[in-house]
Amino acid sequence: PAPPLVVPSVLPADFSRLGDEVRELCEAGADRIQWDVMDGVFVPDLTFGPDVVAAAREHSTVGFEAHLMVADPDALLERYVEAGCELVIVHAEACTHLHRTLARIRGLGARSGVALNPHTPADTVAHVLDETDLVLAMTVNPGFGGQSYIPAVEPKIATLRRMIAESGRPVELEVDGGITDRTIRAASAAGAGVFISGSWMYAYPDGKKAAVERLRTAAAE
Ligand code: DX5
């Protein structure tokens, strides 16, 4: 199997030093960087507008992905692609016309992703895998960093892995929420290949580079 990808979330960063924080994540070996975009409606918190992401873009040597935890993703897609996000992830729960939204993301020149909340079944993506470059199985209820991993999502991760294999398409399977060097083992064993980490990584005593390396090792254990 492909080596695990470690994608830090910027959510725990010091927002007064975003350029430096992004540079540190790149130096730590991040494969990509995830922007947790929250609109205060789909989830209670309110975070990064596209201008903030654009301002940080020049400080990064790795790609940006936008995780749009927003009620109306279609209204924002273009701005986050223009801000420099090469991958845009929308929540299936926020998309009345998910197939069209995913096609629109690709039409804008970015890769498309669809996120599923813990309660949302894997079958939700059964008919859109040909429009999808990544499926994100949330392992917490979105909206906050620092929450506990939800093991009940693991059967869904395994189901998604099978669906992707049967589709024959190069769709990445990502997990986000409560990922540590311990929970990453079960998520990886269930079939996830891309791991978002926020609070655990920022709290790691030996620094971010050691945290990224620890996650890579633990995913393969
Ligand atoms: C949830 C966010 C968080 C964040 C990572 O809305 O998406 O999952 O990316 O947070 P941790 O790693 O602290 O759970």
Long-range contacts of 92-98, Cβ-Cβ distance < 8 Å, separation of 24 or more: 92/116, 92/120, 92/124, 92/125, 93/42, 93/117, 93/120, 94/42, 94/68, 94/70, 98/124, 98/128
pLDDT of residue 52: 98
pTM: 0.98
Q: Which of 36, 39, 133, 181 is catalytic?
A: 36
Query: What whole-number distance in Å separates Cα of residue 150 and Cα of residue 206?
Result: 26
pLDDT tens per residue, range 67-115: 999 999 999 999 999 999 999 999 999 999 999 999 999 999 999 999 9
176 is catalytic: yes
**Distance from Cα 104 to the centre of ligand 1, integer Å:** 26
Q: How far is CA 63 from CA 94, 122, 144, in A?
A: 25, 27, 23
pLDDT of residue 98: 98
Which residues make beta-bridge pairs with 195? 6, 175
**Distance from Cα 148 to the centre of ligand 1, integer Å:** 10
Site to substitute for ligand 1 among 43, 153, 197, most atoms within 8 A of C-beta: 197
**Distance from Cα 10 to the centre of ligand 1, integer Å:** 9
Per-residue pLDDT of the chain (221 residues; tens, 9 = 90+): 789 999 999 999 999 999 999 999 999 999 999 999 999 999 999 999 999 999 999 999 999 999 999 999 999 999 999 999 999 999 999 999 999 999 999 999 999 999 999 999 999 999 999 999 999 999 999 998 999 999 999 999 999 999 999 999 999 999 999 999 999 999 999 999 999 999 999 999 999 999 999 999 999 98
The token duo for 75 is: 């209204």
Is the minimum distance from the CB of 176 to ligand 1 under 6 angstroms? yes
